[in-house]
Amino acid sequence: MAPEIAYLEAEEIVELNLLVLGLVPAKKADKHEVLSRGKLLQAIEKCREAQGGVYDKAAALMRALTAAHAFASGNRRTAFLAAKEFVQRNDGKFAIPDNPDYASIMREIREGKHADEEIAEWIRNGKINKAKR
């Protein structure tokens, strides 16, 4: 019997947004504000509905949060941190180093330039090819 998956709740992701804005400030205008609780809940639901294991679900969560734009600031940073928290909570290894250089990959994910399978592999192994322009 497979272990039960531990999902993140909306309030936890809201807290991660607040945390990431304090830890990794990108712009002076960064502010913590939930723009759409509905979009946040939809992103969580996409994670729950994703087929596959923890890495597949984490990829779905990362993509959905990045695209949802549920927050005024820090959507990609929050998506990264939420995926990391999800994987670790479910006893997985999040292999992507905490490196601001990966902002371009997160932008590519938002733009739909990576398949969920690629994102899952990135989370699992820390390696992903930059999208071809």
- Are 20 and 81 spatial neighbours (Cβ–Cβ below 8 Å)? yes
Query: 1 pLDDT band (50/70/90 cuts)?
Result: low
Q: Which fold, 10-23+32-125?
A: Four Helix Bundle (Hemerythrin (Met), subunit A) (1.20.120)
Q: Residue 115: how many CB atoms within 10 A of its CB?
A: 11
**Average predicted confidence (pLDDT) for the chain:** 92
Instruction: With a cut of 80, say whether residue 5 has pLDDT above it.
Output: yes
Q: Where are the domains of the chain?
A: 10-23+32-125
The whole-number pLDDT of residue 29 equals: 75
Q: Say what the pLDDT of residue 22 is.
A: 86
Q: How far apart (Å, rounded) are the C-alpha atoms in residues 84 and 100? A: 15
- pLDDT higher than threshold 90 for residue 102: no
> What's the predicted TM-score (pTM) here?
0.92
pLDDT-derived band at 18, boundaries 50, 70, 90:
very high
pLDDT band at 2 (very low <50, low <70, confident <90, very high): low
Please give the average per-residue pLDDT across 94-112, as a whole number.
90
